[in-house]
């Protein structure tokens, strides 16, 4: 343990002597303070939160991640080329201790900068929101405005089984056009069924069942957030009637609200309506006079937000997640720097970061529904090129998936609770699993390298 701390101390002192830490901190401080001044807000307090957390703090975290990758590559590959590492390996120090010491030193530097940047960004956000609340004349406090909510989505079955049944029937009746592949038709049927489920014509009714977790504060109102589009072009408000019922069908609330298409609409619910209940049923009636069809978004058309925790608690959880990602990037840089020369290691590390940042696109391509020859409907098989491309994306998704997760800053800015399960999964997978695996690989490779031999 003494050797690990000694190597970590050397790495920290070297960084301060080279003035890398001071230059990096000055850059991050300039981003957090001055970037929000250059971005035009939408005039809402939620817009201010997005600018301060998603943009300013998010960019700072991205720069720290790149710096951690570069530092990890230089800590081994750079020292091998400059022969600085020869002075360490010739001493009775295990290769694993070398890896741990360098990782710990770089992690402590970058982790401290991340905590400082998060504290400054939060303080500036609190100050700006306090001024905006005072200017608007509202009575809400900054604490209540930033209070974190647990999101509850409707409990609804998947449309995939019904889409497959319809595809089977169309194939048997020879109704699938010859220029349309079966997997393409299957995706079209899924979209069609989702549209049928979420479309509400004039005087039509849409119903959702929502499970209710307990609320941590009964003095704050739960929020019903919904997004929709309409059959009319434009963003003209559409009248709608919302009815909240208990499990017995008794109406608890009946209100009218005009929803704005393409916008995020919100209804504040009285806290006492949900107290002591474990499930509710929500009905929407298209009560407008004009023949307009309302279409709720399939993914996030309706979300119930329940008060769950204070903002500092969620901030601490997001910091743990970001520190886990930062530690993984540093470990990846150390591994690449051990296996390859510095230019190659830097290129591969940058490529890895790009793959992780585009994981959403890779996951989307991998999740495409394809009717394969070995499925329950072999007659619906598509081209082998489709199977090959989808297979490649699924392999990439399987490789990238353990390294990725939900965006903690997005959850923080939107007031979404970072769950304990999400936190534990990230710590175990990224912090313990991936970093531990990279440590073993790097220490083994470092022990096999011919460093510090006579003549070198």
The 10s digit of each residue's pLDDT in 280-331 is 899 999 998 888 899 998 878 899 988 888 899 999 999 999 998 898 888 8
Residue 38 counted as domain residue: yes
- What is the pLDDT, as a whole number, of residue 455? 46
Domain span at residue 255 reads: 151-309
Residues of the chain with pLDDT under 50: 371-381, 452-456
- What is the pLDDT, as a whole number, of residue 289? 85
Residue 143 and residue 155 in one domain: no
How does pLDDT run across 12-68, given as a tens digit for each residue? 887 787 778 888 999 999 999 998 888 877 677 878 888 899 889 999 998 998 899
Residue 305 and residue 315 in one domain: no
Residue 369 counted as domain residue: no
CATH number at residue 169: 2.60.120
Residue 243 and residue 166 in one domain: yes
Residue 176 and residue 304 in one domain: yes
Alpha helices in 340-407, H assignment, sequence order:
342-357, 359-366, 384-400
Which residues touch 203 (CB under 8 Å, ≥6 apart)?
285, 286, 287
Residue 176 counted as domain residue: yes
Residue 51 counted as domain residue: yes
Residue 222 and residue 130 in one domain: no
Residue 355 counted as domain residue: no
Residue 90 and residue 117 in one domain: yes
Question: Is 4 within 8 Å of 88 (Cβ atoms)?
Answer: no
H helix or E strand, kind and range, residue 238: strand 238-245
The DSSP output letter for 372 is -
Phi-psi region of 19 (alpha: psi -120 to 50; beta: other; left: phi over 0): left
Other residues' Cβ atoms within 10 Å of the Cβ of residue 305: 22
Residue 235 and residue 212 in one domain: yes
Rounded Cα distance, 33 and 29, in Å: 6
- What is the pLDDT, as a whole number, of residue 379? 42
Residue 96 and residue 239 in one domain: no
- What is the pLDDT, as a whole number, of residue 243? 93
Q: Which of 309, 341, 365 is the last residue of a domain?
A: 309
Residue 7 and residue 45 in one domain: yes
Place of tokens 């591969």: 348
- What is the pLDDT, as a whole number, of residue 454? 45
Give the β-pairing of 294-296 and 279-285.
unpaired
Residue 31 and residue 139 in one domain: yes
Residue 20 and residue 84 in one domain: yes
Residue 114 counted as domain residue: yes
- What is the pLDDT, as a whole number, of residue 207? 92
Residue 323 counted as domain residue: yes
Residue 158 and residue 215 in one domain: yes
Domain count for the chain, please give it: 2
Q: Which of 256, 288, 309 is the last residue of a domain?
A: 309
- What is the pLDDT, as a whole number, of residue 380? 42
Residue 36 counted as domain residue: yes
Q: Which of 291, 309, 327 is the last residue of a domain?
A: 309
């Amino acid at each position: 343990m003494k050797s690990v701390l000694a190597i970590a101390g050397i790495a920290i002192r070297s960084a301060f002597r080279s003035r890398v830490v001071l230059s990096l901190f000055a850059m991050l401080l300039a981003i957090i303070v001055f970037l929000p001044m250059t971005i035009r807000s939408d005039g809402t307090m939620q817009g201010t939160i997005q600018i301060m957390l998603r943009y300013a703090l998010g960019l700072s975290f991205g720069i720290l991640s790149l710096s951690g990758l570069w530092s990890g590559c230089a800590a081994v590959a750079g020292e091998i080329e400059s022969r600085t590492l020869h002075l360490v390996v010739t001493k009775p120090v295990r290769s694993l201790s070398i890896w741990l010491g360098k990782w710990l030193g770089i992690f402590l530097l970058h982790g401290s900068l991340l905590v400082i940047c998060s504290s400054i960004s939060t303080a500036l956000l609190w100050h700006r929101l306090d001024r905006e609340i005072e200017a608007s004349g509202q009575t809400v406090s900054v604490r209540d405005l930033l209070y974190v909510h647990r999101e509850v989505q409707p409990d609804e079955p998947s449309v995939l089984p019904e889409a497959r049944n319809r595809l089977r029937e169309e194939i048997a009746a020879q109704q699938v056009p010859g220029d349309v592949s079966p997997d393409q038709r299957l995706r079209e049927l899924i979209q069609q069924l989702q549209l049928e489920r979420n479309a509400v014509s004039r005087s039509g009714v849409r119903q959702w069942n929502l499970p209710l977790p307990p609320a941590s504060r009964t003095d704050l109102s739960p929020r019903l957030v919904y997004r929709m589009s309409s059959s009319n072009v434009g963003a003209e408000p559409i009248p709608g009637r919302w009815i909240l019922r208990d499990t017995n069908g008794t109406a608890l609330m009946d209100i009218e609200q005009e929803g704005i298409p393409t916008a995020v609409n919100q209804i504040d619910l009285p806290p006492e309506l949900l107290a002591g209940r474990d499930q509710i049923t929500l009905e929407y009636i298209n009560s407008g006079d004009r023949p307009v069809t309302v279409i709720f978004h399939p993914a996030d058309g309706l979300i119930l937000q329940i008060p769950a925790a204070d903002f500092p608690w969620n901030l601490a959880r997001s910091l743990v997640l970001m520190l886990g990602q930062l530690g993984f990037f540093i470990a990846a840089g150390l591994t690449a720097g051990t296996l390859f020369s510095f230019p190659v290691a830097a290129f591969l590390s940058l490529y890895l970061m790009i793959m992780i940042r585009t994981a959403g696109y890779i996951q989307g391509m991998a999740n495409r529904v394809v009717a394969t020859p070995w499925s329950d409907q072999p007659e619906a098989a598509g081209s082998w090129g489709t199977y090959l491309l989808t297979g490649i994306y699924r392999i990439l998704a399987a490789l990238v998936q353990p390294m990725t997760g939900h965006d903690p800053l997005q959850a923080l800015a939107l007031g979404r609770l970072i769950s304990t399960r999400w936190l534990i999964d990230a710590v175990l997978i990224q912090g313990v699993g991936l970093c531990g695996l990279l440590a073993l690989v790097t220490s083994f490779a470092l022990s096999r390298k011919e460093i510090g031999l006579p003549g070198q």
